Amino acid sequence: MFTTSVVGSFSRPKFLIDAFDGHSKGAVTDEQLEEAIQDAIKLTVKEEEICGLDVITDGEQRRASFVSFVGQKVKGFKLVHVTELNRDALEIMKKEKAQLTYWRAVAVERIQDSLLALDELKFTKHITSKPVKVTLPSPYLVMWEAWHAERSKEIYPHPEDMAKDYSKVLREEILRLKDAGASFIQLDEPMLGDLVEATEGKPDRYRRVIELIHGQKYRGFKEELNVAKELINDSIKGISGVRIGMHMDRWPNKDSPFFGVGYERLLPDVLDIKVKQFVLEYASEGSGDPAKFAESLNDRELGLGVVRVMDKTVEEPDVIVKRAERVAKFLDPEQIWLNPDCGFAPGMYRSFPRRIAFSKLASMVAAAKKMRDKYS
């Protein structure tokens, strides 16, 4: 009951960031970088174990960011700095209040089958006996993030063409991860979460930014939902024997007309996505009432965000219990997982103190124990 986990990333220790920076300048060898990476993963896994988490990750320590790392791993993508795509990119992001990762994975050649996270899983399973979750960028997210009107169009005339090829690669990787013993495979899909703030005729702020920088055009609310459903379902169709979830977040702004509105805006269409668990941000102010989504889930699971990752206040267990109990009347305790709203460091250089992240997770585990005592 009330299984505890993390969404994915954990803040990188300073020695790892220094090693990555040194490697990019030629001052750190491949072997030295790999040693730093492995040390950071061991540290993160041990901290998650000490917290008492039921299902852990490696903290995405190997990744430049939760999405642009496909540019490091998948043949056909190239890492490009956002200012190379549009020299005014940083000002555009500031004006629209929508932060993108600075290093963008852009499709420049035909995408080929590649290993995304199998090496990560194998190493993590080697150093822990806990169940391991692996996170992967969803094909709908990659469609918006990685297609560029100038650099990709010759190979892929339409963004959907590129996304379908990536979806095939993703499917093969999911099967490899399943066979290697992954306990939970999570597809990261913030672009679908951001759709909460869009209308039929007007995109949300993230799509406005990507339109200006990448040149992709908004299709309309319903059509975006349909494209997302098709791509994600194609990636996981017929796969059984492993828990597959989808994570959505939003980072709502107070000046948004949809501040306080939740993922119920995507209902009922989003339930056509055949994942076992929806991992959703709900602790952040403005994310809405999770009960409005939970009451429609039936036998599906809810990975409920009960810990904020945008502020450094450590929530008391009783505060987390109250957040979890908002959905307890609609779902069985076995259907409810507790986790932070999002990753603590979805990009390598996002600064969030590890000691505070550790304390938040420990408080979440204490809250889960209270919930188990109450509902057992």
| pLDDT bracket for residue 369 (50, 70, 90) | very high
More confident residue, 51 or 252: 51
pLDDT score for 327: 97
| pLDDT bracket for residue 254 (50, 70, 90) | confident
How many whole angstroms separate alpha carbon 138 and alpha carbon 140?
6
pLDDT score for 3: 98
Straight-line distance from the first to the last Cα atom of the chain, in angstroms, rounded to the nearest whole number: 8
pLDDT digits (tens, 9 = 90+) for 141-168: 999 999 999 999 999 999 999 999 999 9
pLDDT score for 255: 86
HSE value, Cβ hemisphere, 13 Å, CA-based, for 215:
13
pLDDT score for 250: 86
pLDDT score for 40: 97
CA 212 to chain centroid: 23
pLDDT score for 103: 87
Sign of CA dihedral 294, 299, 301, 306: positive
DSSP 3-state of 177: helix
pLDDT score for 13: 95
Q: Is the pLDDT of residue 206 over 90?
A: yes
Which one-letter DSSP state was computed for residue 258? Answer: T
pLDDT score for 360: 98
Listed by start position, the domains of the chain span 3-65+110-200+219-375
How many whole angstroms separate alpha carbon 279 and alpha carbon 246?
6
How many whole angstroms separate alpha carbon 164 and alpha carbon 166?
5
CB–CB of 98/209 below 8 Å? Answer: yes
Tell me which residue of 65, 62, 53, 68 sits closest to 132, measured CA to CA: 53
pLDDT mean over 11-27: 94
Q: Is the pLDDT of residue 253 over 90?
A: no
pLDDT score for 351: 82
| Mean pLDDT over each residue of the chain, to the nearest integer | 95
Task: Tell me the backbone φ, ψ of residue 266, rounded to 5 degrees.
Answer: -90, -5
How many whole angstroms separate alpha carbon 152 and alpha carbon 8?
29
Q: Is the pLDDT of residue 272 over 90?
A: yes
pLDDT score for 325: 96
Tell me the residue length of the chain.
Answer: 376
How many whole angstroms separate alpha carbon 265 and alpha carbon 247?
16
pLDDT score for 98: 86
pLDDT digits (tens, 9 = 90+) for 69-107: 999 999 999 999 999 999 999 999 999 888 888 889 999
CB–CB of 166/139 below 8 Å? Answer: yes
DSSP 3-state of 196: helix
What architecture (CATH level 2) is domain 3-65+110-200+219-375? Answer: Alpha-Beta Barrel (3.20)
pLDDT score for 6: 97
Encoded tokens for 188: 């990261």
Say which residues have a Cβ less than 8 Å from residue 225's Cβ, sequence separation at least 6.
Answer: 192, 195, 266, 269, 270
Q: What is the DSSP string of 53-73?
A: -SSB--BTTT-SBTTTTHHHH
pLDDT digits (tens, 9 = 90+) for 283-309: 999 999 999 999 999 999 999 999 999
Percent of the chain past pLDDT 70, that is, above it, reads 100
Q: Is the pLDDT of residue 269 over 90?
A: yes
Residue 141 CB coordination number (10 Å): 27
Encoded tokens for 361: 């997770």
CA distances from 262 to 144, 175, 239 (A): 22, 32, 29
Give the H or E element holding residue 322.
Answer: helix 317-328
| The residue to which tokens 């791509």 are assigned | 231
How many whole angstroms separate alpha carbon 239 and alpha carbon 230?
15
Tell me which residue of 247, 245, 334, 231 sits closest to 2, measured CA to CA: 334
| pLDDT bracket for residue 184 (50, 70, 90) | very high
Task: Tell me the backbone φ, ψ of residue 115, rounded to 5 degrees.
Answer: -85, 125
pLDDT score for 99: 83
Q: Is the pLDDT of residue 236 over 90?
A: yes
Tell me which residue of 135, 148, 293 sits closest to 210, measured CA to CA: 148
How many whole angstroms separate alpha carbon 263 and alpha carbon 341?
13
How many whole angstroms separate alpha carbon 52 and alpha carbon 46?
10
Sign of CA dihedral 101, 104, 105, 106: positive
